[in-house]
């Protein structure tokens, strides 16, 4: 059984993330979406809210599991019996940081492979921060995040 983890902050999940989840779920028997609950960023949504939102927009994918993690990604991957870490690459700007992270994770545990998926060009400009900024200015989030969670994001700024 090939198990992969797709880690991130997902604050909130965007259509770019969902696109990676849908495509990666077809490549592995099981895909575990790992929501970092103690990252450096000060999140808008609690880890529980982020997990619930991702579960709601991935109900159609029956080999996808969503869970939170704290600490090292390689330890989380191990706890899920995963051997692959999936990451999305949007632009060349993402590359340097992701390259460093992949090498560091490899050094921490050589058993893991990081697999990079190119983000769909439609979503290459989206980030969670941009979604939050737009929501703060009451901008239209249609097409940027799954429609099921638009109301929940707007509520945070009311
Ligand atoms: N579509 C849209 N947006 C995307 C995207 C995609 N396909 N892929 C990434 N992004 C966005 C994210 O929304 C995020 O936006 P933001 O900065 O506005 O919030 C940004 O790109 C960065 O995403 P990512 O590179 O996935 O970082 P992250 O902060 O979401 O998650 C972890 C980083 C959790 C993977 C990483 O910090 C980690 O592994 N932490 C655990 C500790 C550890 O093991 N560290 C390494 C060894 S010390």
* Per-residue pLDDT tens digits for 84-140: 999 999 988 889 999 999 999 999 999 999 999 999 989 999 999 999 999 999 999
CATH number for the domain harbouring residue 124: 3.40.50.620
Contact residues of ligand 1, CB 6 A cut-off: 7-9, 11, 14, 16-17, 20, 36, 39, 72-73, 88, 90, 101, 104, 119, 123, 126-129
pTM of the model: 0.95
Domain count, the chain: 1
Domain of 33, in residue numbers: 3-155
Whether residue 46 has pLDDT greater than 90: yes
CA of 64 relative to ligand 1 center, distance in Å: 19
Among 20-29, 40-49, 127-136, the range scoring the smallest mean pLDDT is 40-49
* Rounded-to-integer distance, Cα 132 and Cα 109, Å: 34
Mean per-residue pLDDT of the chain? 95
């Amino acid at each position: 059984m090939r198990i992969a983890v797709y880690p991130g902050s997902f604050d909130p999940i965007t259509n770019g993330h969902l696109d990676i989840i849908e495509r990666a779920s077809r490549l592995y028997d099981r895909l575990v979406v790992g929501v970092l609950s103690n990252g450096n960023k000060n999140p808008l949504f609690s880890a529980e809210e982020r997990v619930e939102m991702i579960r709601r927009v991935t109900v159609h994918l029956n080999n996808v599991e969503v869970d939170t993690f704290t600490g090292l990604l390689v330890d989380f991957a191990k706890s899920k019996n995963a051997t692959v870490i999936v990451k999305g690459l949007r632009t060349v700007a993402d590359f340097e940081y992701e390259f460093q992270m992949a090498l560091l994770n490899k050094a921490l545990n050589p058993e893991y492979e990081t697999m990079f998926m190119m983000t769909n060009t439609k979503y290459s400009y989206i980030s969670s921060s941009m979604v939050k900024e737009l929501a703060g200015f009451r901008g239209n989030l249609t097409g940027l995040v799954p429609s099921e969670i638009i109301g929940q994001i707007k509520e945070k700024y009311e």
